[in-house]
Amino acid sequence: YKRITTKSLFDMKANGEKISMLTAYDFTMAKIVDAAGIDVILVGDSASNVMAGHETTLPITLDQMIYHASSVVRACERALVVVDLPFGTYQSDPKEALRSSIRIMKESGGHAVKLEGGSEIKESIKKILNAGIPVMGHLGLTPQSIYKFGTYTVRAKEEAEAEKLVEDAKLLERIGCFALVLEKIPAKLAQTVAESISIPVIGIGAGNGVDGQVLVLHDMIGMTHEFSPRFLRRYMNLYEDMTKAIGQYVADVKAVDFPNANEQY
Ligand code: KIV
Ligand code: NA
């Protein structure tokens, strides 16, 4: 396998090949996802919800993101590994944003960082890019701003917010981001953005007029079951399968059916 790079993603867009991306937060899962042929693995700050059980992405720390990212990096032979900068590690000042990114690159071995926002964090993104660290943007529904939005519903349905989003996307391209995530915005708007910039646009709940798709791994394999937005396609129902398997194990232990004669020394 040839390692996927930021350049490979740019070429995929230019050649009309869609980009596949999933999250992962640990070694064992990342190993499966990488070997199955995914292009990009995102060590998302959704780890805050999926791994730690927090209600939002805000509480996860830089040290915790580095722990998840280093575990994922050790598993990947082919995928490009992108790591989210968690809330509070890049918004206050560009120097802190760079310091946080350097820690991620050095301590986890990840290949790029992702930050939420547009013009507001322009200086931080520039500072990180100047150090040679690739940056992926993230616009639309940006979960680190959930307390500003007050809801997880579709973003940029109104003209003003849509216009700002298009401007932010162009800005991110201009300052040198290698790709952009668009989360939960109208499909038509996402397609317009993808067509108006040359860097790859990866969508989640943003329709199929973009250059690639990302989903949260635990959602798409059906390990989570309470979260069912329209954009989520479940490829497995692991919640049910695991519940059955564990129930069977409990029953087997209680019935002294496990271990049997062949399962002992
Ligand atoms: O943290 C995450 O999982 C993400 C994706 C939803 C894009 O940022
Ligand atoms: Na995220």
Give me the CATH number covering residue 113: 3.20.20.60
Are 113 and 143 within one domain?
yes
User: Tens digits of per-residue pLDDT, 83-141?
Assistant: 999 999 999 999 999 999 999 999 999 999 999 999 999 999 999 999 999 999 999 99
C-alpha dist (Å) from residue 29 to 23, 34, 43, 61, 125: 10, 9, 12, 21, 30
Q: Does 1 map to a domain? A: no
Ligand 1 atom 1: residue of nearest CA: 44
161 lies in the same domain as 78:
yes
The overall average pLDDT reported for the chain is: 98
Is the pTM higher than 0.90? The answer reads yes
Residue 168 domain-assigned (yes or no): yes
- Cα of 13 vs centre of ligand 2, distance in Å, is 22
Task: Write the pLDDT tens digit of every residue in 6-32.
Answer: 999 999 999 999 999 999 999 999 999
Point out the ligand 1 atom lying closest to the alpha carbon of residue 46: 1
Q: What domain range is 258 assigned to?
A: 237-265
Give the per-residue pLDDT at 1.
55
Which candidate in 55, 96, 120, 183 is catalytic? 183
Please tell me the predicted confidence (pLDDT) of residue 227: 85
Per residue in 208-236, pLDDT (tens digit) is 999 999 999 999 999 999 889 999 999 99
Establish whether residue 213 lines the binding site of ligand 1, counting it when its CB lies within 6 angstroms of any ligand atom.
Answer: no
Number of domains in the chain: 2
Kindly state whether residue 191 falls inside one of the protein's structural domains: yes
**Mean pLDDT confidence for 157-162:** 97
Same domain, 83 and 49: yes
Best of 20, 22, 33, 42 to mutate for ligand 1, by most ligand atoms within 8 A of CB?
Answer: 42
C-alpha 27 – ligand 1 centre gap (Å): 18
Give the environment of ion ligand 2: residues with CB less than 5 A.
Answer: 44-45, 84
- The distance from CA 173 to its chain's CA centroid, rounded to whole angstroms, is 19
Pocket test for ligand 1, best of 20, 214, 215 (most atoms within 8 A of CB): 214
Is residue 142 situated within a structural domain?
Answer: yes
Our answer on whether the CB atom of 179 is closer than 6 Å to any ligand 1 atom is no
* Interface predicted TM-score of the whole assembly (ipTM), two decimals: 0.99
**Residue 158 designated active-site:** no
Q: Do 173 and 260 have their domain in common?
A: no
- Sequence ranges of the binding site for 3-methyl-2-oxobutanoate: 45-46, 84, 114
